[in-house]
Amino acid sequence: MDEPISEELTQVGGRYHFPKLVHGGIVPHEWSVQLRNGGVMFPKPTAWGGATSVRFPPIARWMAIASLLLAALTVTWTGLKLPGLGDPADILIVAAFGMCALMVAFGDLRFSMPSWSFIPAAAIVACVLARQLDPPPYYLQVLRYQFGINTPNSLVKAIFWLFALLVVPLTIVACIALDRRVAVWVMAAFVTGTAMSSGIAIVDLTGLTNIGRSLPGNLTFLLTNTTVDSSNRIPGLSDHPNNLGFTATLSIPVVVYFMGTMKHRWVATTMLICLLGGILASGSRGAQLVAPVVLIASVLWLPRIRSDGRSNVRFFSGSALAAVVVGLAVLVSLPSKIRESILRITSIDSFFAAGNASNDDRFTLLENGMLDWRQYPIFGAGLRHIVEAHNIYVQLIASGGLVLLIAMFAYWWCMIRDCLRLSAMGVDYARFLMLSIVGWLVLGAVENQLTERGIYFAVGCIAGVASLHLSRRPDSVDGEVDHDALRSQPAER
């Protein structure tokens, strides 16, 4: 680890070989730097004046990785804002991206990105150009979802989304090329940060503290839906209770993976308890409905027996029983007003009926979104409206029309296809990343999260693992992948 990365690789037969596998089940022994099947490669450019590339010291590599991991840890803490700078995670991502860019431009860092990573970006550029040439009338430019906030126009909104779509995954894949364990470390940091936010939400729910609502980025009382009593819904370290429930739900499959593979399972078990408590404290009906399904699917996809001979079935059965008992005890101890506020899902009238303030607002937003699409069916009414419909599919077709909707469906389909291919090759980690993405797509029917940076950390890990395992082997016949050489090895314990 003390040698420069250029000396850590040895070139044999056109491929670069890495040392012994460190984290089993995630990465292969070899990584081909040839162009990935359907991928885009970032090779080392020709040095200036024919000079040799710069040999960056190991500290540069670890600074980039550390910045990325800190970004993953804090990306769900959207309630925290640095004065004049915004989210701390954005600054850390830019720092990691900048260091990786320097190592690509002047050093030996090279990696490939799956081509599906760039599909939405092309559609976004096309939609923005279309609306710049044919701007919608003023009444369609007025933001309907929020009030009293200076919301960016379509061009600025597109730049923010492109940052999440491209910069975050590119940085993750580059850091995975520096150290393959980053594929696991990134999501470990992500779920740790979400669990910490959930833990603070649980403490706030008891009334002992009021951390979440005192944060400068809290948006609970800035939404137009002021008729809903959200005083008992807790945001944790996020900017809104719905975002806490959303990120906690996306974290569940990865935590279950760690519970089934870690030696000290109590760490991941504690995080899962915090996540479930955070979903409860958030009062998010969508998260409370989807999270149990995601949890059950994740548990069912674990191997029955671990590589060390211990039973996953017995452990999860006992953990589930303990969680139910503790959860019921906590709910019974809460005041009835708070219990009704955070368990809105238990009221059928509140969940489905018209006349409920939250539902009425969401139905209005859906109608507005469909109206936007009918007026601009091809390129949409503008990305300014990308978060307005409270349904990501209506948001896509309203803001970007059929072009953006088709591009995003192709993006998701290719991503899930690669996860299934990786799972068939024995990379169990990929299936849990896929469950996180599926949870996003299901929650998207009632939520509006599309442009948040936190979503694309799992996407970046999928792209990174795919770039390692699904690369085209130069000595393979007719471009077929040599699966025997790429198949993951049993995990070390």
pLDDT in tens, 224-258: 444 444 567 888 899 889 999 999 999 999 999 99
Which range has the worst mean pLDDT, 339-348, 350-359, 378-387, 411-420? 350-359
Which range has the worst mean pLDDT, 85-89, 259-263, 298-302, 473-477? 473-477
As a whole number of angstroms, the distance between CA 195 and CA 270 comes to 9
Structure confidence at residue 23 as a pLDDT band (50, 70, 90): very low
Structure confidence at residue 2 as a pLDDT band (50, 70, 90): very low
pLDDT over 50 (residue 488): no
Share of the chain above pLDDT 70, in %: 68
As a whole number of angstroms, the distance between CA 71 and CA 301 comes to 29
Which range has the worst mean pLDDT, 5-9, 276-280, 440-444? 5-9
Check: CB of residue 176 under 8 Å from CB of residue 464.
Answer: yes
> Count of CB atoms within 10 A of residue 42's CB?
18
Average pLDDT, the chain: 77
Taking residues 187-203, report their average pLDDT. 94
Check: CB of residue 443 under 8 Å from CB of residue 286.
Answer: yes
pLDDT over 60 (residue 408): yes
pLDDT over 90 (residue 181): yes
Structure confidence at residue 363 as a pLDDT band (50, 70, 90): confident
Which one has a higher pLDDT value, 312 or 19? 312
As a whole number of angstroms, the distance between CA 388 and CA 367 comes to 11
Which range has the worst mean pLDDT, 46-50, 133-137, 141-145, 164-168? 46-50
In the numeric block, the tokens 């978060």 are attached to 387
pLDDT at 317: 66
User: Between the ranges 4-18, 141-155, 190-204, where is the mean pLDDT highest?
Assistant: 190-204
pLDDT over 60 (residue 401): yes
pLDDT over 70 (residue 112): yes
pTM: 0.80
Check: CB of residue 341 under 8 Å from CB of residue 284.
Answer: no
pLDDT over 60 (residue 278): yes
> Count of CB atoms within 10 A of residue 359's CB?
17
pLDDT at 389: 78
Please state the domain extents for the chain.
5-486
- DSSP line for 302-336: S-SB-TTS-BHHHHHHHHHHHHHHHHHHHHHHS-H
Written as one letter, the residue type at 262 is M
Which range has the worst mean pLDDT, 22-26, 97-101, 267-271, 362-366? 22-26
As a whole number of angstroms, the distance between CA 60 and CA 29 comes to 24
Q: What residues are paired with 40 via a beta bridge? A: 113
pLDDT at 282: 87
> Count of CB atoms within 10 A of residue 188's CB?
21
Region of residue 237 (left: phi > 0; alpha: psi -120 to 50; beta: else):
alpha
Which one has a higher pLDDT value, 194 or 32? 194
As a whole number of angstroms, the distance between CA 446 and CA 449 comes to 10
Measure Cα distances from 218 to 84, 204, 223, 241 in Å: 16, 14, 11, 9
pLDDT over 70 (residue 266): yes
SS3 category, 221: coil
pLDDT at 83: 82
Span 47-99, pLDDT tens digits: 444 445 678 888 999 999 999 999 999 999 988 888 878 889 999 999 999 99
Output b/e per residue, 371-402; b: 16+ Cβ within 10 A.
ebbeebeebbbbbbbbbbbbbbbbbbbbbbbe
pLDDT at 70: 97
Check: CB of residue 353 under 8 Å from CB of residue 359.
Answer: yes
As a whole number of angstroms, the distance between CA 407 and CA 121 comes to 9
pLDDT over 70 (residue 287): yes
pLDDT at 195: 95
Check: CB of residue 76 under 8 Å from CB of residue 237.
Answer: yes
> Packing angle between helix 241-261 and helix 428-443, nearest 10 degrees?
160
Span 370-388, pLDDT tens digits: 888 888 899 988 888 888 7
pLDDT at 460: 96
pLDDT over 80 (residue 188): yes
Taking residues 315-319, report their average pLDDT. 68
pLDDT at 34: 39
